[in-house]
Copies of this chain bind each other. A is one copy, B any other.
Amino acid sequence: MTTTDEIQAAEARTPRPAGRPRSARAEKAIIDATLDLIGESVGLSELSIEAIAARAGVGKTTIYRRWSNKEDLLVDALATLKSPLPPVAGVSVREDLVAYARVFLRDACDARNRCVMNIAMNEAERHPRLVERIRQATIEPRRAAITALLRRGVTTGELRAGLDVPIAMANLVGTVMWYIRTEGADECAASSDLAERIVDHLLVGLGP
């Protein structure tokens, strides 16, 4: 039995939530086709449901069964580029920060991910409502999780009182992104301890 057969058999057994497409496989093909076309610099304005359907090998109605318009599909497709944050152990703030940093690192190390996200955000500067929706879908869940973690650290005394939370968040995410962009992919190996190095560095600061 192939993996595809297994998926289809599993789908046949499992009742689907309302609003899901006929098949998870079709949904994945549609999302992939959307990201591929963005990655090929097809402008968001020129990106058409017809082109996405053709690339995904599905009919337009399959797309419209799941997404009522192109913008909704675009937001969902881009949201898949961000790995979900893991549930945190909650024992030590340092360990939980490292767990988050590992996820940011994994996403930053995926060149297609970076490229598609950048193109979409650049394009989106011309479409402010769309950029706001993309931010809500991709950045806000992470921002909320990191904020909660940093606040927990201040409460437990593991982080210093009066911490500037938005700047501390920018420290964590910005350092990961910038390091991978400029120092490159050597740190993308699974064995890299870059997440630990970054968190420990931020915890002690630059000062003597």
Question: Could you tell me which A residues sit within 8 Å of B by CB distance?
Answer: 41, 43, 111, 115, 118-119, 121-123, 125, 135, 139, 143, 150, 153, 157-161, 163-164, 166-168, 170-171, 173-179, 182-183, 197-198, 201-208
Q: How far is the CA of A177 from the CA of B177 in the complex (A)?
A: 10
Residues of B within 8 A of A153 (CB): 206
Kindly report how many copies of this chain are found in the complex they form together: 2
Q: Is the CB of A157 within 8 A of B208?
A: yes
Residues of B within 8 A of A201 (CB): 164, 167-168, 171
Q: How far is the CA of A207 from the CA of B205 in the complex (A)?
A: 8
Q: Is the CB of A166 within 8 A of B178?
A: no
Q: How far is the CA of A41 from the CA of B122 in the complex (A)?
A: 9
Q: How far is the CA of A197 from the CA of B171 in the complex (A)?
A: 12
Q: Is the CB of B205 within 8 A of A205?
A: yes
User: What is the chain B residue whose CB lies nearest that of A180?
Assistant: B170
Q: Is the CB of B167 within 8 A of A175?
A: yes
A-B contact pairs, 11 of them (CB 8 A): A119-B122, A143-B182, A158-B208, A163-B206, A167-B197, A167-B201, A168-B201, A171-B201, A177-B177, A177-B178, A202-B206
Rounded to whole Å, the gap between the CB of A107 and the closest CB of chain B is 14
Residues of B within 8 A of A182 (CB): 135, 139, 143, 170, 173
User: What is the chain B residue whose CB lies nearest that of A39?
Assistant: B122
Residues of B within 8 A of A160 (CB): 204-208
